[in-house]
Amino acid sequence: AHQWQGVVAEYAERLPEHVRASVVTLGEGGTPLVPAPALSRRTGADVWVKVEGMNPTGSFKDRGMTAAISAAAGRGAKAVVCASTGNTSASAAAYATRAGMTCAVLVPDGKIAMGKLSQAIAHGARLLQVDGNFDDCLVAARKLAEAYPVELVNSVNPDRIEGQKTAAFEVVDALGEAPDIHALPVGNAGNITAYWKGYREYAGFDAGAALPAVATRTPQMWGFQAAGAAPIVLGHPVTDPETVATAIRIGNPASWQQAEEARDTSGGVIESVTDEQILAAHRILSSEVGVFVEPASAAGVAGVLARAERGLVPAGARVVITVTGHGLKDPAWALRTADGGEVEPTRVGADVMSIAAALDLA
Ligand code: F0G
């Protein structure tokens, strides 16, 4: 019987040697690519969602973290550090524990979802709530890693990108070819960088090789930022980013330039979506597609729906949308109604008659 071995082993020949030497894995990757008829119907395209919440710690970060922690283990590292809006810290904490390393995480004070905070604590991370936003945390983490014996495992670490590019391989393996369009949320911009690298490499373009003006055999990359945290769209850093999608509440993405390059060489776009659009997409994903995600993860879906409304999604195009993190990370949003109220469970007695009546069966 075959058991999925994790992304480093499964795609070993496409990953650098130093990542493969001392593999630390929790079996990440191999996530479902699920057809989304409800989204196809709404857009006139052929829409699929890549469900990254199915990774061991509930987000796509695990793909990059297995690579980064494996490389660090190979070098004999004892400690790692990251800045995080939550998912990176949950992932780093789990993989560091697995490798017997200590893990320090810097998170913005008060703006991280409870599920993610719990994970970092449960896995034994040294968690510091920093008086500042994600961008401040990342600056501090970089300086800490320069001055002290701790390795940085944010996506500015190239091993993270190597691991995360495997998601593009999986999409191509599942569909038999690249989709026409790949859409995803953009925060610190590591993931759009990683997918584009993966698609290019699978299409036979070497890392540095020139591409045709607009590449064929690779998808258009469509990235979506939250409107209150959309520096790439605005063309300047945002000093006070704000959005319900706390995972992408980032004002100065580290991989900004790489994201623009992915957009331009793929013939794609980077646009913004409002919190209302994000929450509407979140609701459609749970109630019509059957996939529960955290708010930030719905940004790609929100963006594709918004472009479809403007007539910008070609009929019949094959569209893959990455939904990046699990709904249980930040479940409170599901208990809010569209008009901002609270969902209250209906209370009934334990007798069948009352239950049947409450269900409109009687
Ligand atoms: N979706 C989720 C659920 C995320 O956690 C993140 C990033 C993104 C999308 C955006 O990905 O940064 O590669 O553009 N979360 C980071 C973190 C910043 O610290 O967990 P990106």
pLDDT band at residue 272, thresholds of 50, 70 and 90? very high
pTM exceeds 0.90 for this model = yes
Taken in order 49, 57, 330, 260, the sign of the CA dihedral is negative
Output the pLDDT for position 188: 97
| Nearest-CA residue for atom 4 of ligand 1 | 247
Q: Note whether residue 29 is domain-resident.
A: yes
CA distance 221 to 203: 15
Question: Within 6 Å (CB) of ligand 1, which residues are found?
Answer: 59, 61, 84-88, 155, 185-191, 247-248, 294, 296-297, 324-325
Q: What is the CA radius of gyration of the chain?
A: 20
Q: Taking CA 163 as the corner, what is the angle to CA 157 and CA 166, rounded to the nearest 5 degrees?
A: 145
The answer to whether residue 215 scores a pLDDT higher than 70 is no
pLDDT band at residue 338, thresholds of 50, 70 and 90? confident
Total of domains in the chain: 2
Mutation pick for ligand 1 pocket among 82, 224, 324, 328 (CB with most ligand atoms within 8 Å): 324
Q: What is the mean pLDDT of residues 40-60?
A: 98
Same domain (yes/no): 147, 279:
no
Lowest mean pLDDT among 1-5, 28-32, 146-150: 1-5
Q: How far is the CA of 343 from the centre of ligand 1 (A)?
A: 28
Mention every residue, 6+ apart, whose C-beta is less than 8 A from residue 278.
Answer: 226, 243, 244, 245, 295, 296, 298, 299, 302
Is 187 known to sit in a ligand binding site?
yes
pLDDT band at residue 206, thresholds of 50, 70 and 90? low
Q: How far is the CA of 326 from the centre of ligand 1 (A)?
A: 12
Same domain (yes/no): 140, 173:
no
Output the pLDDT for position 209: 62
Same domain (yes/no): 75, 18:
no
Output the pLDDT for position 205: 80
Task: Give residue-wise pLDDT tens across range 104-141.
Answer: 999 999 889 999 999 999 999 999 999 999 999 999 99
Q: How far is the CA of 191 from the centre of ligand 1 (A)?
A: 8
Mutation pick for ligand 1 pocket among 62, 162, 248, 330 (CB with most ligand atoms within 8 Å): 248
Output the pLDDT for position 110: 83
Q: How far is the CA of 362 from the centre of ligand 1 (A)?
A: 47
Which of the listed residues 133, 158, 183 is the one where a domain comes to its end? 158
The answer to whether residue 214 scores a pLDDT higher than 90 is no
Q: Note whether residue 352 is domain-resident.
A: no
The answer to whether residue 164 scores a pLDDT higher than 80 is yes
Q: What is the mean pLDDT of residues 90-97?
A: 98
Task: Give residue-wise pLDDT tens across range 51-78.
Answer: 999 999 999 999 999 999 999 999 999 9
Mention every residue, 6+ apart, whose C-beta is less than 8 A from residue 33.
Answer: 48, 49, 50, 51, 170, 171, 174, 175, 320
For residue 329, the ligand 1 atom closest to its alpha carbon is 3
Q: Note whether residue 358 is domain-resident.
A: no
Taken in order 269, 274, 278, 284, the sign of the CA dihedral is negative
Q: Which residue intervals of 219-329 are DSSP H helices?
A: 231-234, 256-266, 275-284, 299-309
The answer to whether residue 162 scores a pLDDT higher than 90 is yes
Query: Which CATH number fits the domain that encloses residue 65?
Result: 3.40.50.1100
Exposed, middle or buried by CB within 10 Å (0-12, 13-18, 19+), for 202?
Answer: buried
Beta-strand pair 181-185/220-226: parallel
pLDDT band at residue 204, thresholds of 50, 70 and 90? confident
Same domain (yes/no): 107, 138:
yes
CA distance 114 to 103: 19
Output the pLDDT for position 216: 59
What does pLDDT average to over the chain? 95
Q: How far is the CA of 188 from the centre of ligand 1 (A)?
A: 6
Output the pLDDT for position 29: 98
Kindly state the percentage of the chain with pLDDT values over 90: 90
Same domain (yes/no): 200, 322:
yes
Same domain (yes/no): 122, 261:
no
Same domain (yes/no): 210, 288:
yes
CA distance 334 to 330: 9
Is 188 known to sit in a ligand binding site?
yes
- Cβ(342)–Cβ(335) below 8 Å: yes
Same domain (yes/no): 102, 40:
no
Q: Note whether residue 318 is domain-resident.
A: yes
Which of the listed residues 95, 126, 158 is the one where a domain comes to its end? 158
Which of the listed residues 97, 127, 158 is the one where a domain comes to its end? 158
ipTM over 0.85: yes
Is 350 known to sit in a ligand binding site?
no
Mention every residue, 6+ apart, whose C-beta is less than 8 A from residue 265.
Answer: 196, 211, 214, 215
Q: Note whether residue 67 is domain-resident.
A: yes
Q: What is the mean pLDDT of residues 349-357?
A: 96
Output the pLDDT for position 111: 85
Residue linked to tokens 């590019």? 165
Mutation pick for ligand 1 pocket among 49, 85, 103, 221 (CB with most ligand atoms within 8 Å): 85
Distances (CA, A) of 220 to 42, 195, 362: 20, 11, 52
Q: How far is the CA of 155 from the centre of ligand 1 (A)?
A: 10
Q: Which domain holds residue 72?
A: 61-158
Q: How far is the CA of 156 from the centre of ligand 1 (A)?
A: 13
Q: Note whether residue 215 is domain-resident.
A: yes
Identify each DSSP E strand in the chain by its residue range: 33-35, 46-51, 79-83, 102-108, 126-130, 151-152, 181-185, 220-226, 269-273, 318-323
Output the pLDDT for position 1: 72
Output the pLDDT for position 339: 81
